[in-house]
Amino acid sequence: MMTCKEIVNKLDEYIVGQYKAKRAVSIALRNRYRRSQLPKEVRDEIMPKNIILKGPTGVGKTEIARRLAKLVNAPFVKVEATKYTEVGYVGRDVESMVRDLVEASVRIVKTEQAEKVREKALVVVNKKLKDILYPLKKQLKPEDMETETFKQQFEASFDGGLFDNDVIDVEIHEQPKPFNIMEGGVGEINIGQIMGGVFKGARKTKKMPVSRARELLLDEECDRLIDQDNVNKEAIYRAEQEGIIFIDEIDKIAAKKANGQDVSREGVQRDILPIVEGCVVNTKYGAIHTDHILFIAAGAFHIASVSDLIPELQGRFPIIVELDSLDKDGFVKILKLPTGLLNQYEQMLKVDNIKLNFTDDAIEKIGELAEMENETRENIGARRLQTILETLLEDVSFNASHENPLVEVVVDKTFVESTLNSEFKTHDFKKFVL
Q: List the beta bridge partners of residue 319.
A: 51
H/E element, 273: helix 261-277
Nearest to 126 by CA among 13, 62, 32, 211: 211
Strand residue runs (E) in 174-256: 179-180, 188-189, 203-209, 244-248
Residue 299 CB: number of other CB atoms within 10 A? 24
Any residues with CB less than 8 A from the CB of 245 and at least 6 apart, and which?
76, 77, 79, 97, 98, 101, 293, 294, 295, 296
Report the percentage of the chain scoring pLDDT > 70: 87
Q: Looking at residue 432, what DSSP letter applies? A: G
Give the DSSP letter string of 85-115. Answer: --TTSSSB-TTHHHHHHHHHHHHHHHHHHHH
- Which is it for strands 51-54 and 294-299: parallel, antiparallel or unpaired? parallel
Q: With contact defined as beta carbons under 8 Å apart, do 171 and 203 qualify?
A: yes
Gap between the Cα atoms of 336 and 362, Å rounded: 12
Report the percentage of the chain scoring pLDDT > 90: 20
pLDDT in tens, 302-339: 778 888 888 888 889 998 988 888 888 888 888 888 87
Domains, the chain, in order of start with CATH, read 4-103+233-322 (3.40.50.300), 112-232 (no CATH), 328-422 (1.10.8.60)
pLDDT in tens, 147-205: 888 899 999 999 998 999 999 888 887 765 554 443 334 444 444 554 545 455 577 88
Tell the burial category of 102 from Cβ atoms under 10 Å away from its Cβ (0-12, 13-18, 19+).
buried
Quote the pLDDT of residue 122. Answer: 92
Gap between the Cα atoms of 215 and 344, Å rounded: 29
Gap between the Cα atoms of 83 and 66, Å rounded: 19
Gap between the Cα atoms of 189 and 195, Å rounded: 11
Specify the range with the lowest mean pLDDT, choosing from 57-61, 284-288, 345-349, 407-411.
57-61
pLDDT at 407 over 90: no
The gap from C-alpha 123 to its chain's centroid, in whole angstroms, comes to 32
pLDDT in tens, 67-107: 887 787 889 988 888 888 766 555 678 889 999 999 999 99
Tell the burial category of 212 from Cβ atoms under 10 Å away from its Cβ (0-12, 13-18, 19+).
middle
Residue 58: band (very low, low, confident or very high) from pLDDT cuts 50, 70, 90: confident
Top-confidence residue, 429 or 152: 152
Quote the pLDDT of residue 191. Answer: 47
Q: With contact defined as beta carbons under 8 Å apart, do 240 and 293 qualify?
A: yes
Any residues with CB less than 8 A from the CB of 333 and at least 6 apart, and which?
16, 17
Quote the pLDDT of residue 33. Answer: 85
Q: With contact defined as beta carbons under 8 Å apart, do 224 and 124 qualify?
A: no
pLDDT at 257 over 70: no
Query: At 337, which amino acid appears?
Result: L
Quote the pLDDT of residue 189. Answer: 46
H/E element, 53: strand 51-54
Per-range mean pLDDT, top range of 29-38, 69-78, 288-297, 419-428:
288-297
Torsion of CA 354, 361, 392, 428, to 10 degrees: 170
Angle at 307 between CA 272 and CA 371, to 5 degrees: 100
